[in-house]
Amino acid sequence: MSLVTKRVRGTAKLFLLAWLSVILGITCCVSQETASTGKIEGSVTGKEGEKIAGAKVVITNRANMQAIATTSNSEGVYVSAELPPGDYAVRIDAKGFESPVVPITVQAGVSAKADIRVLPSVVEVNTERPTIEGVLRAEQIENLPFNGRNYLDLGLLEPGIQTQDGNTFDSNQSGTLSISIGSRTGREPRTQLDGGDINDETVGGPVLNIPASAIQEFRVMQSLPGLATDLASSGIVNVVTKSGTNSLHGEAFGFYRNGDIASANLSGRNNHDWAQQQFGGDLGGALIKDRLFWFVHGERNRRDLQNPVLAGWPFSARSTAINEPFREVATTDRLDYLFSKTARIFYRLSYDQNSDVRPLGSGPSMQPVLSRSNTPAHALGVDFTTGNYLHSLRFEYLKYRDTISDRSFQVTGTSNPLSDVTINIGGGATSRCSSGSLFCSGRSYAAPQQDFQSDTQFRYDGSHMWRSRHQLHYGVSFNRILAGGFASLYSLAPTLSDSSSVPLPFGVFTSTGDATDSLNYPVEWAFIGNGQGFASEKSAFGLAGGGQLDNRLGAYLGDSWKVKQNLTVTYGVHWVRDTGRSDSDLAAVPQLDAWGTGYGRKVRQPNSNFAPQLGVAWDPYNSGRTSIRGGIGLYYNNSVFNNVMLDRSLRLQSGLFLSTPAVCIGGAPGEIVWPTNPGLSLPGGLVNANGTVSPTWCGQNIGAAEPQAVALQAAYQAAEAVATSNPNFIGNPNAFAGPNQHGLSLLAPDYQTPRSVQMNVGIQHELRPGLVFNADILRNVGTRNLLGIDVNHGGNVSTFNLVNAIADRDAAQVANGCPTGTGQVGCMVSALAPAGALAAYGAAGIGGPAQVTGGAPCPTCAFPGLHSNLGVNVMNFPYGRSVFTAFDLSLKQQIVNFAPGIKHAYLQLAFSRSKYVSQSDDSGLASLASDYFSPDHFTGPSDLDRKNQFAVGGYFDLPRAFSLGLLGHFASPLPVTLRLQQDAGAAEILVSDWTGDGSTGDIVEGSNVGSYMRSIKPSGLSQFITNYNSNLAGTLTPAGSTLQTAGVFAPGDLPLMGAMLQPLAQVVQNPAGLSWLKTFDLRLTWQHTFMDRVTVEPSIGAFNFFNFANFDLPGYTQSGLLNYGAGSKSVPATALQPQGTVGGASTDPNNPVVGRINRASLQSGMGAAGAPRAVEWGLKITF
C-alpha cells in the first residue's frame, strides 16, 4: 500500500470520526433538550366510576399561574402538551360537575399521572331562567341533619322559608308538616310529587309524607315558577323520587332518640317521658340491564310521648301530660323502563298511613283528638322525544282519607272537671282554645270528622326547538278533584268560654269565687252543634252528602328566546279554570236581593284566568358564571273547599246541614233559628216571639250553666234530626249569615279567583368554581283574598233609629223599676251595677243585631242595619290584598379538598329581610274584615311574617372517615295584633266599636294589624297603654256619641255604666315579647367499608344542640286580646294583663304567675321545631 493511499485512508478516518462526533454531539443536545420537559396524563371519572368524555382539563403552573387546557377523549382519558418541570395544579372544568384541585409535580422526561374523580355539582348558575328557586339533591339530603327526617324541613336552607306544623291550622293535618313561602301560612303553597299534585284541597297543605331517603331531588320555587304550574301564587315545592340503577344497591337505617341521655327537659321542667324511633330501608337495581329498573323504599316512624300541657295562672295546678302516640308507615316504590335513549316510562306508588293523638295546636289545650289518615298515590309517567320535539305525560290517582275522633277521656281529674262540656278560659277564647288561653278542657269541638279526597290527574308538557333560537313550551292539564265527608263540629258537647280571666264572686249563681276552679268562670261565649256534619247535598264516598267536585283545566304556551347567546327572554301565558270553588252551579237566590240589588245573582264562575309572564336572564360575560335576572308574572291561587263549604248550605232550601250557632255572645243570649216548632218552652232555653230560641244561662258560671247547656243542645239536635227543610236557608224568615253567629257566610256574587303578581330582580354569580352568590329582591302582591262584610251593616252608626232607641231605653228602665226618659242611668246602676245596667240596655235593643239577637233580624234595635227587617248577612268579597317584599341573599359552596384532611364539603348560608302585610292572620281562608267601612284600612304584618331569617347548613367529610353535618335556622319574632275584649254583651258596639262600622272587638286604636313586635315593642308596651288610657279611654264610641247627641242619653250617663272605650290593664314588670326561633342541629357520623361494598355508618345527632328556649311558634303565640284594667266598669277587668296575653308574661322564668307557658315542645307527627335539645343515635348500612 502506497504512502498516499495510507494518508487518504487516514484522512477519511479522521473525517468520519469528525462527522460521528458532530452527529453524536447533535444527538446528545437533542436528547438533552427533549428530556427537559414532561407531561401530565390521566383519566376523568364520575362518582360511580363512569368515564367523563369531553371534560375540559385545566392545568395551572403554580409558579407563574399560567394555565393551559386540554380535553378528555371518549374514554375519559386526557394527555397534556409538553410542560416544563415544576409544580402544577390540575382540575376539571365541566358544567354539572365539581372537581378537586390535584397538585402534581412534572419532572423532565416523565409522564405524571393525575386521575381525577369529579362529583355531580350541586351548585350551579342558571343563565336562562329568572326563577328564584333552591335545589337539594340526594347527596345533600342524606348528609344534612334535618329534624325528624321530614322532607319539607329541607326548604329551611333557602332564604325566607319556614315550616309550620299542619296541626296548627287544621286537625286533619295533624302528623304532617307544611311549608311557608313568602310568609304565608302553610296551607297556601303547592306541593308536587314527580309532577303530580299531592295537596289537601279542603284545608290546604300536603296530604302525605314522603320518605326523605326516597327523594332524588327537592326543589322549592319562591318566585316566577315556570308556565307549567297551574296554581303558583304562593310558591311551589317539587319532589322527584329515586330510581333504580344497573347495580344492586340499598340501605337499612334506624334512628332512635328519647328524653334520657343528654336530652333537655320538656316544657315546665317535665321529665323526659318520651321516645322516638325511625327505621326503614330501600333497595334498587335492574331487572333488565340498561332497560328495566326498580326501587322500593319503606319507613316506619314511631313516637311515644307524654306531652306536658301547661295551664296558665291560676290554673297551674291543673297542668297535665297527655299521652300522644304517633305511628306512621310510609313507602315509595318505583319502576322505570327505558325503551331507548329518547323514551322512558315509569310507575310510582307512594303510600302514607299515620295516626296521631294530640289537641289542635293552639293554646294550652287538654282536648286531644285521634287523627288517622291513609293516602295511596299512584303515578305513571312517559317521557319521549320525536325529532326535536320533547314530550312528557303524567297520570296520577290519589285518594286521601282522614278520620278524627275525640280522646278527651284520656284526661282525668281536675284537668277535665266536666266531661260533657268543653271549657275555654282566657286569651280571648270564644269558640275554641286560642293562643293565650289559660285553661282548655273537655271534648274537642273538632270531632267527629271524616274527610275524603280523590284526585285524578293528567298533564302533558311539550317543547320544541324552533328556528334555533326559540324553545317553545306548551302543555295542558286536567284534575278531577272530589272531596267529601262530614264534620259534626261542636256536636259532642256545648262549648262554654270566658274570653277574659276573672271568676264570678262567691255566691253569684253557684260560684265559690275560687279562681283556681274553672267552674266559677262566667259563660261569656257559648256554641252548640246541631249534630249534622254535611256541608253540601252531594253524595260522595258512600255518604249521603258532603261532596264537593272541582274540575281543574289548565293550558299554557310560552317561549324561551335566545335573543343572543348570552341573553334569554322567557314569555308566555297560562290559563286555569276551576269549576267547583264558587258554588256557581247553584241557582240564583232572589231573596238575597232584599239585602241589596244584585246580591241574589248566581255566584260568578271565573273562566278567564289568564296569567301572562315575562322574564329575562342575561350572562354579561357569556361565561356561564353570571346571571342577571328578573321578571314579572301573574299567578292564580287555590281557594280551599272550606271557603265554599261556608256558603253552600245557606243557598239550599232542603237538606240537613251543619250549623254551629253562637248561643251566648259576650255574655248576652243569642237567638237560635230552631229547625222545628219549638213549642212554648225548652230545657235551658226561652222561646222568643219570632220562633227563635235563646239560652237562659248566659253569664252564669260554667258549673251552673253546664246542665242547662247540655239539655239545650240535646233538644236542638233532636229537633234538627226530624226537620223537613233547611233551617239555615238564607231565604227563610229570620235567616242570617255570619261566621261568628252560626259558622256560615256567603260568597259574594262577583267572586274572583285569588291571584298574585310576582316580581323579582337579582344576580347570581359564581365567585369561583363551586362558590355561587345570589342576591335578589322579591315582591309578591296578592289580591282577591276573601274578606267578610255584613252587607246589612247592622250596628253601623249610619243606621241609627231614634224611635227604636228611645223605646229600647225606656223598656229597659221600666223593666228594672226606673222611670222612662233621660237621666235614669244612675237608677239603673243602683239597681244592677254598671255592667248589669249596660247589659240590660243592650238586651232591650241598644245595639245591633249581631249582638242583640245573635244575627237574627232586630227591627227594634237602635242600630238595626240598612234593612231593619233583615238580619246579619256576611258576604265574602274579593277585597283582600297582601304584599310580600324581601331582600334575599345566599351563598352556596361545594368544595373538593376543602382543607387538610377534609376531602369534600358543602356549605350554604342564607339571609332574608322581608315584610308581609295583609288584613287577616290567614290569607288563605275567608276572614272577617276588621272595618266594614274600609275592608283594607287595617293592613299590617300578619300570617308568618318574620323580618329577619338566617339559615346555615352543610356537611364536611372529616379525616378517619368521619363526617359532620349541620343545619341551623334563626328567625325573628312573629307579629301580634292588639284587639279589644268583647264582654259587654248586646251593648258591645258602645264599648269596643270605635270605628262605628258595626263590627266589635276592634283593633286597639293607635295600632294596626301586627303592630306588636313591630312598631310597638315590649319595652314600649306600657307607655302605649298609658297613652291609650290617658287619651282614648273614657271617650264614647261613635254609637255612644250618636245616642248622646240624639238625646237618648244625657251627657255623663253612658260612662256611668261603662258604655265607652275602657281603660286597658297594665303590663307586668319586664314583659317578655315574642321570641326568636333558634335551632342548631348537628350530626356526626363514621363510615367503615367492608369488602369495598358494604358500608356501616353509626351516627349521633344533637337537635337544638345549644338548647335554645323557643316560645311563640305559629298557632301558639301570646294573645293580642287585651284585658281591661283599673278604672274599667267591665266586670272581668284586671290590674295587669293575664299570663298568656301580650304584656302578661315576664322574662322571669321562675315566676309561676307571670312566667311564659308556651315554650316549644314536640309537635304533631315527628315534628320538633324549636323543641328542647334531643340526642339521636343512628345506624345506617349501605351496599
Report CA-CA distances (Å) from 617 to 468, 614, 729.
18, 11, 55
Phi, psi of 950 (to 5 degrees): -130, 135
The pLDDT of 433-457, averaged and rounded, is 95
Q: What is the pLDDT of residues 1059-1116, one digit of tens each?
A: 999 999 999 999 999 999 999 999 999 999 988 889 999 999 999 999 999 999 998 9
C-alpha cell at position 24: 453524536
Strands 495-498 and 422-425: parallel
Find how far residue 677's CA is from the centre of its chain: 45
For residue 386, the SS3 value is strand
pLDDT for 585-633, tens place per residue? 999 999 999 999 999 999 999 999 999 999 999 999 999 999 999 999 9
- Listed in order, strand segments (DSSP E) in 515-608 are 525-527, 548-564, 567-578
- ∠ CA 564-567-571, nearest 5°, is 110
Is residue 442 scored above 70 in pLDDT?
yes
Mean pLDDT of 236-244: 96
Whether cis (ω within 30° of 0) applies to the bond prior to 314 is yes
pLDDT digits (tens, 9 = 90+) for 634-678: 999 988 999 998 899 999 999 999 999 999 999 999 999 999 999
Phi then psi for 703, rounded to 5 degrees? -60, -35
Tell me how far apart the alpha carbons of residues 386 and 772 are, in angstroms, rounded to a whole number.
Answer: 36
- Reported confidence tier of residue 1058, pLDDT bands at 50, 70, 90: very high
Average pLDDT over residues 1005-1032: 97
Q: Cis check for the bond before 448: say yes or no (omega within 30 of 0).
A: yes
Strands (DSSP E) contained in 94-214 are 97-98, 102-106, 111-113, 116-117, 119-120, 132-137, 162-165, 177-180, 190-193, 196-197
C-alpha cell at 658: 251543619
Coil/strand/helix, residue 583: coil
Dist. CA 670–CA 680, nearest whole Å: 18
> Of the candidates 860, 650, 846, 842, which has an alpha carbon nearest to the alpha carbon of residue 738?
650
Residue 682 CA to residue 520 CA, distance in Å, equals: 25
Contacts of 1134 by beta carbon, 8 Å cutoff, 6+ apart: 500, 501, 502, 1065, 1123, 1124, 1125
Domains and CATH numbers, the chain: 54-120 (2.60.40)
- Would you place residue 271 in the very low, low, confident or very high pLDDT band (cuts 50, 70, 90)? low
Q: How long, in residues, is the chain?
A: 1183
Report whether 88 contacts 59 (CB < 8 A).
Answer: yes
pLDDT at 268 > cutoff 70: no
Looking from the CA of 637 toward its CB, the CA atoms found within 13 Å total 29
- Identify the weakest region by mean pLDDT among 1-5, 344-348, 372-376: 1-5
Q: What is the pLDDT of residue 730?
A: 95
Which amino acid, residue 1042?
T
* Residue 8 pLDDT > 70: no
pLDDT mean over 302-316: 93
More confident residue, 792 or 1: 792
Q: Rounded distance, CA 64 to CA 68, Å?
A: 12
The CA-based dihedral angle spanning residues 1032, 1034, 1040, 1042, taken in that order and rounded to the nearest 10 degrees: -60
Closest C-alpha among 173, 605, 585 to residue 360 = 173
E strand or H helix at 850: helix 849-852
Average of per-residue pLDDT values in the chain: 92
Query: In this predicted model, what pLDDT tens digit does every residue of 1125-1172 receive, in sequence order?
Result: 999 998 899 999 999 999 999 988 778 888 899 999 999 999 999 999
**How far is the CA of 1027 from the CAs of 1005, 1063, 1067, 1070, in angstroms?**
11, 10, 13, 19
| For the chain, percent of residues with pLDDT exceeding 70 | 96
CA atoms within 13 A on the CB side of 654: 2
Task: Output 155 or 899, whichever has higher pLDDT.
Answer: 155
pTM over 0.85: yes
Flag whether pLDDT at 6 surpasses 60.
no
Question: How far apart, in whole angstroms, are the C-alpha atoms of residue 656 and residue 491?
Answer: 14
Which residues contact residue 636 at a Cβ distance below 8 angstroms, ignoring those fewer than 6 apart? 230, 231, 232, 233, 576, 609, 611, 753, 754, 755
934 has a pLDDT exceeding 50: yes
Other Cβ atoms less than 10 A from the Cβ of 927: the count is 20
- Is the pLDDT score of 937 beyond 60? yes
DSSP 222-237: EE---TT-S--TT-EE
- Using CA atoms, how far apart are residues 76 and 55, in angstroms rounded to an integer? 8
For 614, residues 6+ apart whose C-beta sits below 8 A from its C-beta are 569, 570, 571, 631, 632, 633
Query: Which stretches does DSSP call E strand in 704-832?
Result: 746-747, 755-768, 771-790
Backbone angles phi, psi at 857, to 5 degrees: -55, 140
**Angle of CA points 211, 214, 218, to nearest 5°:** 90
942-959 as b/e, with b when 16 or more CB fall inside 10 Å? Answer: bbbbbbebbbbbbbbbbe
Question: Cα angle at 486 between 165 and 580, to 5 degrees?
Answer: 85
Higher pLDDT, 1136 or 902: 1136
Which residues, in sequence order, are bridge partners of residue 450? 403, 486
CA-atom Rg of the chain in angstroms: 36
Contact (Cβ atoms closer than 8 angstroms) between residue 212 and residue 241: no
Name the one residue in this structure whose C-alpha cell is 256558603: 647
Neighbour-count burial for 1025-1042, b at 16+ CB within 10 Å, e otherwise: beebbeebbeebbbbbbb
Residue 1: pLDDT band by 50, 70, 90 thresholds?
Answer: very low
